[in-house]
Amino acid sequence: MMKNDSSIPALPLSVLSAMILMGVQAWSQSFDPHPVYGSNALTKAHPGYDMADLLPANASGLPAGFSAHVGGMAFLPNGKLALADFPDPSNGAWKGSVWLFDGVQTGDKTKVTSKEFANNLYGPTGLTVVNGDIYVIDGNSLRKLTDKDSNGTAEVTEITHSWHQNGGQPAVADLVYQNGFFYSAIGSSGGLSVDGASISGGTAKIGMDGKVQMLSSGFRNTGGAGINSKGEIFATDNQGEWLPSSKFINVVPGRYYGYGGLTQNGKAASPPAVWIPQGVVSPPNGNASTYAAGMSPGTVLPIDTGLYAGQYLMGDIRYGNVDRIFLERVGGEYQGALFHFSGGFRAGIYRMTWGPDGALYLGGMGGSGYTWSWKDNTVDDNWGLYRMKPNSKPVFEMVSVKAKAGGFEVKFTQPVDTKVAAANFKVQSWRYVSTGSYGGPQVDMTTLPVQSVQKSTDPTVIFLGIQGLLADHVVHIELDSNAVISTTGLKPWTFETWYTLNRLGTDAFNPTPVFAAQPTRGSFPGWMRAQATHNGGIQIESETAGSYEIRDARGTILEEGVLDAHQARTSAHRYEAGLYFVSRPGSPGIKVICL
């Protein structure tokens, strides 16, 4: 239950000094982050999920002709999983196929069956399902795959025409669909041409008639794309010339994103929403190659429900891990934080999708002797297919980091131990410089002392007061895993985050939320009821039809929906323990406490 205690004080430096003089251990160990490479790498699955390997332990046990290099994946209405297979291109000419897997939702590899559905594809790197039909994109075209005669083999219909790529790294990455159009990220390094004209890197919008419209430009070697329920497009791009580090990009039509120079056709390069740091010089031993956030980002997958609703998962192909991205708008533009999410895979994660069972499905891809020499840190494999099913195990980690005036507001999954102090955090910042050389310098590396830790009436939230923050910088925050713990003694699952501070926060941290007033009779037409369910949901019922919204204690809208008259509805999201308000738009809220 949420504790409404507005008397929790901040801890100034004077108090911390006194604690140390009295023998209270304010710092108990060296910083111990979970890098993606090296002896301390994150090599296990996220504890909040039960992970199952859905393929045989040895490549020799795979179905004949199937390499398990997953270039795309999506579920069909019948529950089968469609996979685009892109074998290691270092073994010869590009080729590929689409397979249908049954039984994956059991999580038991012995119950998984498969069958090839289509072949003779040219390096497929994106797949989606629309109205029960499979669409797959590769270096030569976008194709529709159907099985009207039910013989188990696809009938192929070409959607795009005169589309050609001459080898190299894949120019086309990922395929998503919304409202009658497909979207794909296009790289510049693969030599793609459409209707005889060379296409520079950017975001492609493709109609059902095969017409291609470029929405943005300035991508180098993109790894994936995603689109959220609002129609906002996101993509990843890989470090290289004019890209000092990899990027997570909010695609705004008409913008240029930097590959090719600081400007293009009079447009200045737009910064990414989140930089994906590579080789961050931050740990005590100073080994920049060991401690990093990522190297070759893959697909972008929106999270629509649960504790991390509104955030994104992103695979990393080189380091064999999955990261989580939190975004917020500051000055009207997205920026935010990157967190490590999970490891434990045999290869880099290239594609992901949500299953009908609510589980996360992940596909690996790798190679040997080729640019894509991807594998994880402990297993010398380059392929894989996994299922991560949410469980009920408690996990303590950062949910979000928000830029505020003078520092950052950090929210955790569980209440934070009240003894947490400024000395338990290590903060560094730097900025990137784009140059025509491969990669670019990371400059102005500065250690920023945490001046204070301020508590909130929300026990899961703290504020880090930090002096010297600068716009257009990346801020790396590390936690002492023996000191920044939950009130129940849980250590954090991961111990660091990277925040891309394109713009400084201007809103002040408010440690005392302003609670909405309790509704009075007649404050909205008819009656309305709301109550928490045992599994973190909120059940809502109303006498009259209309829209509703669920807000947190600060008034932030977390969910919006529509109610039918006298028809109980359970919230789409599952909420952590805390106080929430359910109301009609513009009306006071009904207080609901989730336990």
Q: At the top level of CATH, which class does the domain 49-390 belong to?
A: mainly beta
Residues facing residue 497 across a β-bridge = 339, 477
3-state secondary structure 445-461: EEECCEEEEEECCCCCE
CA dist 182 and 143 (Å) reads: 12
With helix as H, strand as E and coil as C, how does 506-572 read? CCCCCCCCCCCCCCCCCCCCCCEEEEECCCCCEEEEECCCEEEEEEECCCCEEEEEEECCCCCEECC
pLDDT for the residue 544? 82
C-beta separation of 186 from 194 below 8 A: no
Contacts 24+ apart (CB under 8 A), 64-67: 65/97, 65/116, 65/119, 66/97, 66/99, 66/114, 66/116, 67/383
The reported pLDDT for the residue numbered 386 is 96
How far does CA 347 lie from the centroid of its chain? 18
Residue 428 Cα distances to 173, 477, 500, angstroms: 33, 7, 12
The pLDDT of residue 62 is 92
* Sheet of strand 181-186, all strands in order from the earlier edge strand to the far edge: 172-178, 181-186, 202-207, 212-214
Question: In CATH terms, are 13-30+396-501 and 528-594 the same topology?
Answer: yes
Pick 13-30+396-501's CATH classification: 3.30.390.30, 2.50.20.10, 2.40.160.50, 2.60.40.1220.
2.60.40.1220
User: Which positions of the chain have pLDDT values less than 50?
Assistant: 1-30, 281-290, 369-371, 373-378, 514-524
| Predicted pLDDT at 175 | 96
Domain boundaries, the chain: 13-30+396-501, 49-390, 528-594
Residue-level pLDDT at 190: 66
Q: What is the pLDDT at residue 520?
A: 33
Q: What is the pLDDT of residue 281?
A: 46
The CATH fold of domain 528-594 = Immunoglobulin-like (2.60.40)
In DSSP notation, 396-444 reads B-EEEEEEETTEEEEEESSPBPTT--GGGEEEEEEEE---SSBS--EEE
